[in-house]
C-alpha cells in the first residue's frame, strides 16, 4: 500500500492550485495528485482562445497551470490517466484503476464537473460534441475543417464562447436556444436582447427553439425541435450546462446531490478531508446560505485557502464574492455578485453600444450583482467593493 500525507483527487486547476498552496506551508509532506485526463493540469477557460487560435503553435502552452518540471521540483507525484475508483472515508484509503491503493492522512477532493447530456434521441450520434476537456477541443478543431453548418445548442457562457470562437474562424454558426435571448437567466431583458442582436450582427443568429432530438444513422443529419421542425445540421455542439462530478462519493455524506458540503474552512464533516472547485458546496459568507460555483476564479481562491488549511499550519476562512468573466468577440464581461435570481430592478450606466458600460441588479433595495462590460480591472475591483458594502450587516 502507498502511504501519503496528502492525496488530491482531480488534476484540474483546483487540484493543481491546492498542491501549489500546500507546498508554501509544508515543503516536505508527501503529496500525490491523481487525475483522469492525460494532459497536465490546465485552465479550461483558456481552451477556446488557445486551441482554436489560428497559426500560433505556442498558444497551446498558455493553458497549463505549470510545466512538467514544476511537479518534479516541488515533489508532487502526479499520476495522470489515473482514476480514483473507490474512496473509503473511514479508513482513509483510495483505490486507483491501476489496482494500487493509497492510504492518506489528509485529502482534498477536486473532481470538477462533467457535461450534462440531454436526455433525447440521438444524443450519442457522431458529429455531436460535448465540450469539457482539452481532448474535446482538439477533436472540435479537427472536425470543423470544411464544416458549413454548425449548431450550438444552449444559451449560456460556453455556448456564447464557442459561437464567438468558431465565428471568428469564419465558420457558419447558429445558436439554438430554448430562451429568446442569450444569458437571459442572468441579465436584464434589454441587455440580453442587446447581446443577442450583437451576436446576430456578427453573423451568429439565435434560433429560439427547444431541442427534441437528433436524427442520423451514425452521424448527425438533422436536429429536431419540440415544435416539430427538422433542421439540417453537419455538426452540433451541446452546451447545456454541467453537473458536479460526484460519482466517487455518491451515497456518502460527501456526495449530496448539489455538491460536497464544506464549512468556512472548506473542510467537510470528515476531519482532514477538504473539497474545492466545481464540486464544493460552501457557506456563502456574503449573501448567506450555501452556494456552489462553476467558475475558475472561485476555484482558484478556494484552492489557495484549502491548500493552506490542509497542512494544519494555517487556518483561513474562505470568503469571496462570486465573480466570473467571459470574453466573446471583442467584449469582456465581468459578473460580480449574485446572479442566481432575475433582477427585480436594474440600472444601466453608460451606453451598451459604446462599452464600457455597467448594469447594476437589485432585489428590492439591495444591490445583488453588477455586470461590467469592457471595464478596467480597477472598475471590477470597485464593483466588488460596492456589492460587498451593500451586504455589510
Ligand X SMILES: Cc1cc2nc3c(=O)[nH]c(=O)nc-3n(C[C@H](O)[C@H](O)[C@H](O)COP(=O)(O)OP(=O)(O)OC[C@H]3O[C@@H](n4cnc5c(N)ncnc54)[C@H](O)[C@@H]3O)c2cc1C
Closer to ligand X by Cβ: residue 157 or 361: 157
The nearest distance, CB 9 to ligand X, in angstroms, is 5
First to last CA, the chain: 51
- Cell of residue 189, nine digits: 431583458
Closer to ligand X by Cβ: residue 117 or 366: 117
The nearest distance, CB 238 to ligand X, in angstroms, is 12
The backbone region for 122, taken as left when phi is positive above 0, alpha when psi lies in -120 to 50, beta otherwise, is left
* Alpha helix segments (H runs only) across 33-146: 47-51, 68-73, 134-143
Closer to ligand X by Cβ: residue 77 or 215: 77
Footprint on this chain of ligand X (rule: CB under 6 A)? 9-15, 34-37, 44-45, 47, 83-84, 110-113, 131-132, 158, 245, 248, 277-278, 294-297, 299, 324-326
The nearest distance, CB 308 to ligand X, in angstroms, is 17
The nearest distance, CB 353 to ligand X, in angstroms, is 24
Closer to ligand X by Cβ: residue 225 or 277: 277
Closer to ligand X by Cβ: residue 159 or 177: 159
- Cell of residue 341, nine digits: 435570481
The nearest distance, CB 191 to ligand X, in angstroms, is 19
- Cell of residue 335, nine digits: 459578473
The nearest distance, CB 61 to ligand X, in angstroms, is 18
The nearest distance, CB 323 to ligand X, in angstroms, is 8
Length of the chain: 393
CB 234 within 8 A of CB 127: yes
The nearest distance, CB 324 to ligand X, in angstroms, is 4
Burial class (CB in 10 A: 0-12, 13-18, 19+), 271: exposed
Q: At what angle do helices 189-201 and 157-168 cross, to 10 degrees?
A: 20
**356 preceded by cis ω (within 30°)?**
yes
Task: Give the Cα separation of 335 and 343 in Å (integer).
Answer: 14
- Cell of residue 339, nine digits: 446572479
Q: Please identify which residue in the block is written with the cell numbers 455531436.
A: 128
Alpha-carbon torsion 362, 154, 384, 379, what sign?
Answer: negative
Task: Give the Cα separation of 318 and 306 in Å (integer).
Answer: 8
Closer to ligand X by Cβ: residue 211 or 328: 328
Closer to ligand X by Cβ: residue 27 or 67: 67
Q: What is the 3-state secondary structure (H, E, C) of 273-341?
A: EEECHHHEEEECCCCCCEECCCCHHHHHHHHHHHHHHHHCCCCCCCCCCCEEEEEECCEEEEEEECCCC
Closer to ligand X by Cβ: residue 238 or 248: 248
The nearest distance, CB 111 to ligand X, in angstroms, is 4
Closer to ligand X by Cβ: residue 252 or 324: 324
Task: Give the Cα separation of 72 and 221 in Å (integer).
Answer: 48
Amino acid at each position: 500500500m502507498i502511504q501519503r500525507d496528502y492525496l488530491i483527487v482531480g488534476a484540474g486547476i483546483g487540484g493543481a492550485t491546492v498542491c501549489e498552496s500546500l507546498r508554501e506551508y509544508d515543503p516536505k509532506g508527501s503529496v500525490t495528485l491523481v487525475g483522469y485526463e492525460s494532459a497536465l493540469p490546465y485552465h479550461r477557460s483558456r481552451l477556446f482562445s488557445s486551441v482554436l487560435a489560428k497559426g500560433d503553435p505556442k498558444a497551446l502552452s498558455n493553458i497549463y497551470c505549470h510545466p512538467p518540471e514544476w511537479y518534479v521540483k516541488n515533489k508532487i507525484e502526479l499520476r495522470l490517466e489515473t482514476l480514483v475508483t473507490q474512496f473509503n472515508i473511514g479508513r482513509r484509503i483510495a483505490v486507483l484503476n491501476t489496482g494500487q491503493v493509497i492510504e492518506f492522512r489528509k485529502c482534498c477532493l477536486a473532481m470538477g464537473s462533467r457535461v450534462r447530456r440531454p436526455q433525447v434521441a440521438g444524443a450519442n450520434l457522431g458529429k455531436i460534441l460535448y465540450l469539457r476537456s482539452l481532448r474535446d477541443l482538439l477533436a472540435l478543431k479537427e472536425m470543423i475543417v470544411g464544416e458549413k453548418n454548425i449548431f450550438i445548442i444552449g444559451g449560456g457562457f460556453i455556448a456564447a464562447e464557442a459561437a464567438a470562437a468558431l465565428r471568428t474562424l469564419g465558420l457558419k454558426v447558429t445558436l439554438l436556444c430554448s430562451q429568446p435571448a442569450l444569458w437571459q437567466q442572468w441579465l436584464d431583458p434589454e441587455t440580453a436582447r442587446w447581446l443577442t442582436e450583437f451576436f446576430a450582427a456578427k453573423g451568429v443568429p439565435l434560433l429560439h427553439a427547444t431541442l427534441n432530438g437528433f436524427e442520423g444513422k451514425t452521424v448527425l443529419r438533422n436536429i429536431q425541435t419540440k415544435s416539430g421542425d427538422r433542421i439540417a445540421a453537419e455538426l452540433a455542439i451541446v452546451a447545456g450546462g454541467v453537473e458536479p462530478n460526484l460519482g466517487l462519493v455518491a451515497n456518502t455524506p460527501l456526495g449530496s446531490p448539489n455538491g460536497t458540503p464544506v464549512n468556512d474552512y472548506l473542510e467537510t464533516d470528515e476531519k482532514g478531508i477538504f473539497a474545492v472547485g466545481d464540486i464544493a458546496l460552501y457557506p456563502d459568507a456574503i449573501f448567506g446560505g450555501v452556494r456552489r460555483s462553476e467558475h475558475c476564479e472561485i476555484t482558484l481562491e478556494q484552492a489557495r485557502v484549502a491548500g493552506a488549511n490542509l497542512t494544519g499550519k494555517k487556518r483561513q476562512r474562505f470568503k469571496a464574492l462570486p465573480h466570473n468573466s467571459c470574453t466573446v468577440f471583442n467584449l469582456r464581461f465581468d459578473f460580480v455578485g449574485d446572479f442566481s435570481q432575475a433582477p427585480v430592478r436594474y440600472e444601466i450606466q453608460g451606453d451598451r453600444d459604446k462599452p464600457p458600460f455597467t448594469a447594476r441588479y437589485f432585489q428590492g433595495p439591495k444591490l445583488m450583482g453588477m455586470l461590467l462590460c469592457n471595464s478596467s480591472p480597477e472598475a471590477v475591483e470597485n464593483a466588488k467593493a460596492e456589492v460587498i458594502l451593500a451586504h455589510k450587516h
